[in-house]
Structure 1
């Protein structure tokens, strides 16, 4: 059985909610990633900030990334998955919430991230097709 830890990109790092977006961008560049989990003062996941967030929610609105914090951009309930979760649980979580990146946690510690690229690289074509269809399809009314 394939688990989250089998398909994740290991060694993920997070930044605190008090870090500026300038610092977030520097860490993203250093790690060659497009998203960083954000932690609160208790070292708990409180959100994710992406390179797109920095551009659209900060720069495009004329805000200063040296003054805006990562915590100001975190929205909604953060999603994560346990490292021992079955890959189907990973796909279900990403599909249900239409998210493209999912932090992986083990013993309450961030151990990795799963992105669309990880899913595509690691899973069979039929699972990839179902996943991309769910993520990229228009939301339906219920």
Structure 2
């Protein structure tokens, strides 16, 4: 039987309000060992910011990290997946849209995050990507 997204996702993703500074986002990413944070307003998913977004849209653009908010640089045109969809649906979405992670939503409320690493572990726990994904983050 095919696994569902809610069986492979990381539940309770880290989320912040749109007015959170990029410095605060960086601190959260370091504390949690993650490379993505959801942007949520009134419980609804409004955006996604990744470590790459911070580098490309803020650092490389010489933006003030303390004065720039996550709303200024986050992606708002997101691909999402429902928790009861097959995990293979998430794989297809990632391939089609060339993304490494997809927010899991119940309606427009975020409940998890599914990453390429989560799916690698689900598909073949002995793969190199699964091994790397299982390792603790570099700090």
- Place the TM-score, normalised by the shorter chain, in its bin: 0.7 to 0.9
Give the whole-Å Cα distance in 1 for the aligned partners of 2:113 and 2:62. Answer: 30
8 Å contact kept, 1:13–1:110: no
Q: 2:33 & 2:98 partners in 1: Cα distance?
A: 23
The two structures have a TM-score, normalised by structure 2, of 0.80
Aligned length: 124
The offset of 1:52, in angstroms, is 1.5
Query: What is the CA-CA distance between 1:91 and the residue it aligns to?
Result: 1.4
Equivalent-residue separation in structure 2 for 1:107 and 1:55 (angstroms)? 30
Distance (whole Å) between structure 1 residues aligned to residue 107 and residue 56 of structure 2: 34
**Alignment pair present for 1:21 and 2:22:** yes
Corresponding residue SS for 2:60: helix
Match of 2:136 in 1: none
Unaligned residue ranges in structure 1 (runs of 5+) = 126-142
Matches of 1:64 and 1:108 in 2, distance apart?
31
Give 5+ residue unaligned stretches, structure 2.
Answer: 126-139
Q: TM-score, normalised by structure 1?
A: 0.78
Look up the SS of the partner of 1:94 in the other structure: helix
Provide the rounded CA distance (Å) in 2 between the counterparts of 1:80 and 1:11: 15
Q: Classify the secondary structure of the residue corresponding to 1:66.
A: coil
Q: Distance in 2 between matches of 1:31 and 1:111?
A: 17
Aligned mates of 1:52, 1:124 — CA distance in 2: 27
1:69-88 equivalences under 5 Å are 69-88=69-88
